[in-house]
A and B are shown apart, each in its own frame.
Chain A
Amino acid sequence: MLHFELVTPERLIRSEDVHMVTVPGTDGDFAVLEGHAPFMSTIRDGDVLVQKTPGGQPETVAIRGGFAEVNAGGLTVLAEHAG
């Protein structure tokens, strides 16, 4: 499972283990699965797709302004606005 965190300056919106997350990067969308190589990207305004189980219905979270970081601990999306 991939550990996914979505954080805004106001609060930690979610912190959970999911299957896959698709993030709207500045240079194009990218999906993150468990074991992704370390990666950092700025994001454009758009929807993050959170898929809890393989093949499951993705859940969308609208985000605005920020960046995403993938490291050994999982995926962290820092957004100015979310939800």
Chain B
Amino acid sequence: MASLKALKIRIGSVKSTQKITKAMKMVAAAKLRRAQEAAVAGRPYAERLERVVASLARTVGVGASPLLAGTGKDQVHLLVVATSERGLAGAFNTNIVRAARRKAVELEAAGKTVRFYIAGKKGRVIRRFYPTGIVADHDLSEMKVASFDAAKEMADDLIRRYEAGEFDVAHLFYARFQSALVQEPVGQQIIPVAVPAIAETKGAAADATVAYEPSEEAILADLLPRNVAIQIFRALLENAASEQGSRMTAMDNATRNAGDMIKRLSIQYNRARQAAITTELVEIISGAEAL
């Protein structure tokens, strides 16, 4: 049996670990609330932009822009993997990477070429599986909260590569936030832009009379890159919320486990102490009887 002193040290160490995990859980909870608020605040813009792009794409036709129509090929697929910069968030990053790898295997089986675009430090593990397939490693470490500028920068980079013919289709992988307990890793096609299938609403009839300045085509050409940026931005927001949710859950579990461990170790410690006292008493009594 471990000595009393060793047990005491161990209990102390687990206790301080528990303090850290507890603090991390609280911080994650606070950040989660903020991330959720940001996700909700970003919704109106995305909704309106999507509606406008959909109605414009209908009037102009998909042939207007390669961002809508595609390159005409379906050979090179780019998988954009958005992960977090920090670990200790349970299976959050692992799940996103796994979803991307599953898609990669599927595409390769279909004879496609797969390339990776990594956004976030924790996605770098992909290097291990596809050492040659990484086209870029986009650094997000400067980004404290998901910012539209960072998303736009990424979108511009992607569109530049797309126009240079580096890939034909881009998929974006991130974790969709459902609740603090559930985050679902999803893959979604971002280039070519999938025209949202919005039901013909009352606005559709009025579309014909809308005046456009400078022209429908020019507006659409201006909006499509923005649409890519906003999709990436939404993914970053969802990811931020998911990361904090996942971390909160993971740290809650860690805190509970540490609690269990402390309880077990305390029992062990008390038993050992009692055994030492008993031994001492037996020694004293038998010493006294011998006299």
Contact = CB atoms under 8 A, between A and B. Distances in A.
Nearest to A40: B212
A26 B213 CA distance: 8
A7 interface: yes
Given A9-B42, A9-B148, A71-B206, A25 B48 contact: no
Contact of A42 (B206, B222, B229): B222
23 contacts: A5-B44, A7-B44, A7-B45, A7-B48, A9-B42, A9-B148, A9-B151, A9-B229, A9-B230, A10-B147, A10-B148, A12-B44, A37-B209, A38-B209, A39-B212, A39-B213, A40-B52, A40-B213, A41-B212, A67-B219, A76-B48, A78-B48, A80-B148
Given A9-B45, A39-B213, A40-B52, 4 more contacts: A7-B48, A8-B148, A9-B148, A78-B48
A67 B222 contact: yes
A40 B211 contact: yes
Contacts, number: 74
Contacts of A37: 209, 211
A17 to B, nearest CB: 17
A69 interface: yes
Instruction: Give me the 4 closest cross-chain CB pairs, A-B, nearest first.
Output: A11-B41, A41-B213, A9-B148, A38-B210
A32 B52 CA distance: 19
A27 interface: yes
A40 B210 contact: yes
B219 A40 contact: yes
Contact of A8 (B45, B206, B222, B223): B45
Given A7-B44, A8-B148, A71-B203, A42 B38 contact: no
A71 B229 CA distance: 25
Given A7-B45, A12-B44, A78-B45, A25 B213 contact: yes
Nearest to B209: A38
A38 B41 contact: no
A interface, size bucket:
20 to 34
Interface of A: 5, 7-12, 25-27, 37-42, 66-67, 69, 71-72, 76, 78, 80
Contact of B214 (A27, A38, A39, A69): A27
B206 A72 contact: yes
Interface string B218-232: 110011001001100
A5 B47 CA distance: 13
Contacts of A72: 206
Contact of A11 (B42, B203, B226): B42
B49 interface: yes
B233 interface: yes
B152 A80 contact: yes
A42 B213 contact: yes
B218 A42 contact: yes
A42 B211 contact: no
A38 B52 contact: no
B214 A42 contact: yes
Contact of B49 (A12, A38, A78): A78
A9 B203 CA distance: 23
Contacts of A76: 48
A46 B218 CA distance: 20
B42 to A, nearest CB: 6
B56 to A, nearest CB: 8
Interface in B1-51: 38, 41-42, 44-46, 48-49
